[in-house]
Amino acid sequence: MKTLKIAIQKSGRLNEKSVEILKNCGLVFDNYKSSLISSVSNFPLEILFLRDDDIPEYVQDGIADLGIVGENVIAETGAKVSYLQKLAFGRCNLKIAVQNNSDLKTVEDLAGKTIATSYPVILGKFLNEKNIKANVRTISGSVEIGPGLGLSDAIFDIVSTGGTLKSNGLKSFLDVMSSEAVLIGSKAIVDNPDVAELLQRIRSVLAAKATKYVVLNIKKANLKQVIDLLPGVKSPTVIPLFEEDWVAVHSVIAEEDFWDKINSLKAAGAEGILVMPIEKIIM
C-alpha cells in the first residue's frame, strides 16, 4: 500500500503539539527543523512540514493525505477536506474588537465602518449573514495596531488570552468563531486502513489525556458511596486489602471534573488516594 503523507506546521504555535501527538501514537521520526519531509520508520507515513496556510489546500488537492491545522485556516481557505478528529489544542476565538472608548454597541453599528483583519473570508461571511455592509481591510499581520493608527474602526483577529487586545487598548466586541487544531483528510483517503489505524491511535491518546487513573483505599462500609462517584472504563475495580474491613478501588476519572471528584471522594472517606497519568486508552 502507498505511503501516506501528513502535513503539519513547520514552526509556530501548532508545531510542537502536532509532533507530540504523532510521537505519542508510537510513530518514530526525526523532527528536523531544516527539512521539509521526514519519514516515519515504523508506519507507512511521511511527514511534510509546511506553513499552516498551505495545509488545507495541500490536503484538498491530495498532495498530502492528512493534515493538522487550525479550523480557522480551513474556514479561511475554504478548502474541501474531511474533518477526521478535533485535537484539543491550539484553541482560540476569532473576535471583532474595538477601542476601549469606542461608542459601537451592537453588531448593526458596524455598518459603514472599517474592520482590519487577516481573515477577510471568515469576516466577510459573518457580515453577509448579519446583512451588514462594512469595509473589510485585509492586512497580513499586527491588525491590533489598526484602530490606534486610525487605519480602522475595529479589528477582527484571533484572541487567546486577551493580552494582545488589552495591551493595545482594545476590548472584545463580538465573538465570531471558535477554533482548535483538527486532523483533516483528503476526500479520497477516508476509507484507507492505515488512516483508520492512525485515527484509532490518536483517539486513544486523546482519551488518555482527558483522564487520570485513581487508586484509593476505603472502608467496606463506605464502598457504595465511593463507587457511585467513580465510573471506571467499564466499572471500578475493587481489590481486598490485608486489613479485612478495607478495600482498594481502582478507577479512571475525567480531567475536567478532577478536583471536584477528589474532594467528594475524600468526603466519602477515601484515604491514600493516588493519581496517575494514563498513557493510552485503547478504544
- Name which position in 67, 70, 146, 147 contacts ligand PRT (CB under 6 A): 70
Question: By CB under 6 A, what part of segment 85-104 binds ligand PRT?
Answer: 90, 92
113-116-118 Cα angle (round to 5): 145
- Name which position in 1, 140, 161, 191 contacts ligand PRT (CB under 6 A): 161
CA distance 6 to 8: 7
C-alpha cell at 222: 463506605
Q: Any idea which residue has 491530495 for its cell? A: 62
Q: Is the dihedral of CA 122, 5, 180, 172 positive or negative?
A: negative
The span of 21-29, 152-160, 183-191, 272-280 binding ligand PRT (CB under 6 A) equals: 152-160
Q: By CB under 6 A, is residue 13 in contact with ligand PRT? A: yes
Q: By CB under 6 A, is residue 226 in contact with ligand PRT? A: no
Residues whose CB is less than 8 angstroms from the CB of residue 171 and which lie 6 or more positions away in sequence, other chains included:
97, 98, 99, 100, 102, 165
193 binds, among Zn ion, ligand PRT, none (CB under 5 to 8 A by kind): none
CA distance 178 to 38: 31
Of the chain, the end-to-end C-alpha distance in Å amounts to: 25
For residue 136, the cross-strand partners are 115
- Name which position in 19, 154, 157, 202 contacts ligand PRT (CB under 6 A): 157
162 binds, among ligand PRT, Zn ion, none (CB under 5 to 8 A by kind): ligand PRT
- Name which position in 20, 53, 108, 260 contacts Zn ion (CB under 5 A): 53
Please, what is the minimum distance in Å from the beta carbon of residue 67 to Zn ion?
Answer: 13
Q: Cα separations (Å) of 52 from 1, 6, 138, 182?
A: 28, 12, 18, 12
CA distance 246 to 222: 9
Q: By CB under 6 A, is residue 72 in contact with ligand PRT? A: yes
- Name which position in 4, 6, 7, 14 contacts ligand PRT (CB under 6 A): 14
147 binds, among ligand PRT, Zn ion, none (CB under 5 to 8 A by kind): none
- Name which position in 4, 8, 9, 68 contacts ligand PRT (CB under 6 A): 9
Please, what is the minimum distance in Å from the beta carbon of residue 53 to Zn ion?
Answer: 4
Task: Between 152 and 217, name the residue whose CB sits nearer to ligand PRT.
Answer: 152
- Mode of pairing for the β-strands spanning 66-70 and 181-185: antiparallel
Please, what is the minimum distance in Å from the beta carbon of residue 54 to ligand PRT?
Answer: 8
Q: Any idea which residue has 486489613 for its cell? A: 243
Q: By CB under 6 A, is residue 148 in contact with ligand PRT? A: no
- Name which position in 73, 97, 182, 195 contacts ligand PRT (CB under 6 A): 73
- Report helix, strand or coil for 3: coil
Q: By CB under 6 A, is residue 162 in contact with ligand PRT? A: yes
What's the number of CA atoms in the CB half-sphere (13 Å) around residue 269? 14
- Report helix, strand or coil for 68: strand
Which residues contact Zn ion (rule: CB under 5 A)? 52-53
Which residues contact ligand PRT (rule: CB under 6 A)? 9, 12-14, 51-53, 70, 72-73, 90, 92, 157-164, 179
